[in-house]
Amino acid sequence: MTTCNEPDRLLALRKLNLLDTAPTEAFDRITRMAARVFGLPIAAVSLTDSDRQWFKSRVGVVHTSIPRIKAPCATVSGSGDMLVVNDLQEDPFFRDSPLAHSGVRFYAGAPLITSDGFNLGAMCVLGLEPRSISSTERDALTDLAAMVMSQIELQHTLGRVDPLSGMPNRKQFIEDYADLQMDRPHGEPRVAVLVNMANQEQLNNAARVMGASYFDDLMNEAIVSYRAVMGSEHKVYQLAATQFITIAPPGTDDGAGEGSYRARLAHWLDSRGAWSTSRFVTTPAIGIAPFLLGRTDCLDVLRIAQNAMQDAHQTGQLIGSYSSAQDDAYRRRFTLLNAFDAALADTSQLRLVYQPRIDLTSGRCIGAEALLRWRHPELGDVPPGEFMPVVEQTSMVRAATSWVIREAVRQLAAWHAAGLQLQMSVNVSAANLLEADFVSTVTALLNQHRMAPGWLELEVTESAIMENQGTALATLAALDQAGVRLAIDDFGTGYSSLSYLQSMPAHVVKIDQSFVRNMAGGERNRTLVNTMISLSHELGFRVVAEGIETDDVRQLLRDQGCDEGQGYLFARPLAPDDLFAWCARAEASEAAPRKPWAPICAALPSLAPHTAA
Ligand code: C2E
Ligand code: MG
Ligand code: MG
């Protein structure tokens, strides 16, 4: 059966991506064979485009195309039947065709019909003398046309199926999705379901132990049982070694009620003991992505389904759903990453601010913590609490910390040269402790600025150390050896194992602000902080309290023996010149009778809170 709708026919032809492609031996071989079988000088694989016959392959023809008007091949693709014209010049229709005028007398063409019934053009042979055709030759021409079609369909299919499983792949999903969109251009609600049969670690382990082909069987079983349980109308596409995607039938909603599609999915996964012969334990996860067919871009569907599946893996659930809030967060993170990469190249977007660290007994500023600030030209100020955790997941963290330490040590040296003898604290990330040249870079920098290592303190969180204990501890020990001071930042929020605290080559414990802030709230919180202070002292650490916002809390901490404090009560993080001025004014008012810390704030009412934060 052939399909006559010309727009559809043209669409089918275009989708094969054959027009205006380079000649290939696979087609030329068939064309040469056709010329030889008929003993004729001209043969061609001729495709009927909107206004031309374009030759995918040709023998004895100079042109790559001829006008479609009055071309016999166009008649073949129009009718879907073989056409034989013994003498074009005697034929009432073709007599005045360009082909007849060029001296061609004989034409025989067999239609090129796709499995969907579209006539693409003709496999044709042409002669310069009138001629007839035997029934054997008719059969041969039909066979040659069939060979051309096999070649076309083979080429088209290649790259659209997974070579191992034979399943349609991602490329095919994208093409089929485009077709579906064309049928429903006005936004039909549908649900995509992405199934991942194992997480990355399991994939690696199983491949090592069982061989890579292990997952082919697992996937086959999963797909067969999925269609058996969820419905055979599901067309399943393999996206990766352990992942497949399908679009649930129209009318499916992503709700969680009893008997819902989601409940059936959960049941299918729960029952995998019954359909899986796998001896390897894997943790499957499913991502559900509702979308509007005709409105949502295919790549967006793939992306949100992937994200939902990743969420399920990460949260230890079987099924994760796309949520637009989550998706906005992913997009924002993605934007931040790209933008931060650019900021590292053009560091004018980056600057450091410095928050004073106060000795709680004397009330004097004895140090400052360098805190990174990023002002993006369009996004505006992005807080480090938002971008650092994202940057820390990438190799950019190396360049980021390197820039911060360089800038902070340069500032430290400048202050010292100007007579302001502060200690500088810099935050470093877990990944920095794994850099082979981290210690040598830091010490070289200090040498370059002629600063004794003890003026620099590096702050590391407990979790950063625990992430890669061996190497991290070795780096800390080397820094300690070099004379650099070390502080455990955000103490109390991480693992807080006492045994590790004992073995830590650090000098300072910074109690996290969440504990400090709550101190005024009750006896329990005060006792908790008190315990942290005594314990840290017993282990030989100096103790700093972060986030002191009120005088009551400052007083409590001082009474409990806390050594130093940092917080908005004293000052917000300041631009370097402001910090210098702040310290100078504080020193100037030292002579006046005061509470230990009072002159600092009393002298500087405008600096609390300060704008530089
Ligand atoms: P952190 O190292 O614990 O720094 C203290 C944070 O608490 C700073 O926030 C500071 O502005 C804020 N803070 C200080 N006193 C108070 C107070 O009294 N009340 C309140 N509510 N907050 C106070 P910031 O600058 O936004 O930095 C947040 C976090 O970002 C830092 O926490 C640190 O973990 C990270 N960070 C900042 N700069 C860098 C950097 O250069 N490198 C790395 N790796 N991380 C950085
Ligand atoms: Mg810190
Ligand atoms: Mg902290």
The residue whose CA is least distant from atom 17 of ligand 1 is 547
Residues 79 and 197 in one domain: no
pLDDT in tens, 180-221: 888 777 888 999 999 999 887 777 777 777 776 777 888 888
Domain containing residue 143: CATH number: 3.30.450.40
Domain containing residue 174: CATH number: 3.30.70.270
Domain assignment present for 452? yes
Q: 411 or 347: whose pLDDT is higher?
A: 411
Give residue 408 CA to ligand 2 midpoint distance, Å. Answer: 13
Lowest mean pLDDT among 118-127, 310-319, 451-460, 569-578: 310-319
Domain assignment present for 533? no
Nearest ligand to the C-alpha of residue 510?
3
The H-or-E segment that residue 334 falls in is helix 324-345
**pLDDT score at 566:** 97
CA distance 576 to 412: 10
| Segment 79-83 mean pLDDT | 95
Q: Is the CB of 355 under 6 A from ligand 1?
A: yes
Does residue 34 carry a pLDDT above 90?
A: yes
What are the backbone angles phi and psi of residue 339, rounded to the nearest 5°?
-70, -35
**8 Å CB contact between 308 and 191:** no
Map residue 499 onto helix, strand or coil: helix
Residues 399 and 438 in one domain: yes
The residue whose CA is least distant from atom 3 of ligand 1 is 490
**8 Å CB contact between 76 and 94:** no
Domain assignment present for 153? yes
Residues 147 and 215 in one domain: no
Question: 612: pLDDT confidence band, cut at 50, 70 and 90?
Answer: very low
Q: 97 or 604: whose pLDDT is higher?
A: 97
The residue whose CA is least distant from atom 12 of ligand 1 is 547
CA dihedral 400, 404, 405, 410 (to 10 degrees): 140
Q: 37 or 586: whose pLDDT is higher?
A: 37
**pLDDT score at 492:** 87
Give residue 374 CA to ligand 2 midpoint distance, Å. Answer: 17
Which of 519, 593, 522, 585 has its CA nearest to residue 554?
Answer: 519
**pLDDT score at 556:** 95
Lowest mean pLDDT among 31-45, 184-198, 253-267: 253-267
Give residue 393 CA to ligand 2 midpoint distance, Å. Answer: 18
Domain assignment present for 412? yes
**pLDDT score at 404:** 98
Q: Is the CB of 383 under 6 A from ligand 1?
A: yes
Which of 235, 248, 215, 250 has its CA nearest to residue 161?
Answer: 235
Which of 344, 387, 401, 427 best tests ligand 1's pocket when mutated (most atoms within 8 Å of CB)? 427
Of the residues 158, 186, 204, the one at which a domain ends: 158
**pLDDT score at 608:** 32
Domain count, the chain: 3
The ligand 1 atom nearest the CA atom of 404: 41
**pLDDT score at 212:** 67
Output the six-digit token pair for 494.
Answer: 């991480």
Residues 79 and 218 in one domain: no
Domain assignment present for 560? no
pLDDT in tens, 582-591: 998 887 776 4
Rg of the Cα atoms in the chain: 37
Residues 431 and 575 in one domain: yes
pTM over 0.75: no
Question: 462: pLDDT confidence band, cut at 50, 70 and 90?
Answer: confident
Lowest mean pLDDT among 18-27, 63-72, 194-203, 493-502: 493-502
Residues 36 and 184 in one domain: no
Domain assignment present for 330? no
Map residue 107 onto helix, strand or coil: strand
Residues 294 and 184 in one domain: yes
Residues 402 and 470 in one domain: yes
Residues 21 and 121 in one domain: yes
- Give the domain extent around 247: 170-322
Q: How many residues does the chain have?
A: 613
Residues 111 and 188 in one domain: no
**pLDDT score at 585:** 86
**What residues pair up with 286 in beta bridges, in sequence order?**
195, 319
Which of 88, 163, 67 has its CA nearest to residue 130?
Answer: 88
576-579 contacts, C-beta under 8 A, 24 or more apart? 576/352, 576/354, 576/411, 576/414, 576/415, 578/607, 578/610, 578/612, 579/354, 579/356, 579/368
Range with the largest mean pLDDT of 20-34, 94-108, 274-288:
94-108
Give residue 342 CA to ligand 2 midpoint distance, Å. Answer: 25
Residues 179 and 291 in one domain: yes
Nearest ligand to the C-alpha of residue 459?
2
Which of 349, 369, 371 best tests ligand 1's pocket when mutated (most atoms within 8 Å of CB)? 371
Q: Is the CB of 549 under 6 A from ligand 1?
A: yes
Of the residues 106, 131, 158, the one at which a domain ends: 158
CA distance 6 to 234: 30
**pLDDT score at 573:** 97
**pLDDT score at 495:** 64
Domain containing residue 363: CATH number: 3.20.20.450
Nearest ligand to the C-alpha of residue 517?
1
Q: Tell me 91's DSSP state.
A: -
The residue whose CA is least distant from atom 45 of ligand 1 is 427
Q: Is the CB of 567 under 6 A from ligand 1?
A: yes
Residues 137 and 191 in one domain: no
Mean pLDDT of all residues belonging to the chain: 88
pLDDT in tens, 347-402: 899 999 999 999 999 999 999 999 999 999 999 999 999 999 989 988 899 999 99
Does residue 270 carry a pLDDT above 70?
A: yes
pLDDT in tens, 139-181: 999 999 999 999 888 877 777 777 677 788 898 899 889 888 8
Residues near 541 by beta carbon (within 8 Å), at least 6 away in sequence:
488, 506, 507, 508, 509
Q: Is the CB of 238 under 6 A from ligand 1?
A: no
CA distance 412 to 426: 11
Domain assignment present for 165? no
Output the six-digit token pair for 241.
Answer: 């070694």
Lowest mean pLDDT among 6-15, 42-51, 377-386, 505-514: 6-15
| Segment 453-460 mean pLDDT | 97
pLDDT in tens, 540-560: 999 999 999 999 999 999 999
Does residue 476 carry a pLDDT above 90?
A: yes
The residue whose CA is least distant from atom 7 of ligand 1 is 547
**pLDDT score at 600:** 40
Of the residues 158, 185, 203, the one at which a domain ends: 158
Q: Is the CB of 384 under 6 A from ligand 1?
A: yes
Q: Is the CB of 412 under 6 A from ligand 1?
A: no
The ligand 1 atom nearest the CA atom of 388: 45
Q: 274 or 287: whose pLDDT is higher?
A: 287
Give residue 371 CA to ligand 1 midpoint distance, Å. Answer: 6
Q: Is the CB of 425 under 6 A from ligand 1?
A: no
| Segment 218-245 mean pLDDT | 90
Q: 210 or 125: whose pLDDT is higher?
A: 125
Domain assignment present for 163? no
pLDDT in tens, 135-145: 999 999 999 99
Question: 601: pLDDT confidence band, cut at 50, 70 and 90?
Answer: very low
Tally Cβ neighbours within 10 Å of residue 25.
9
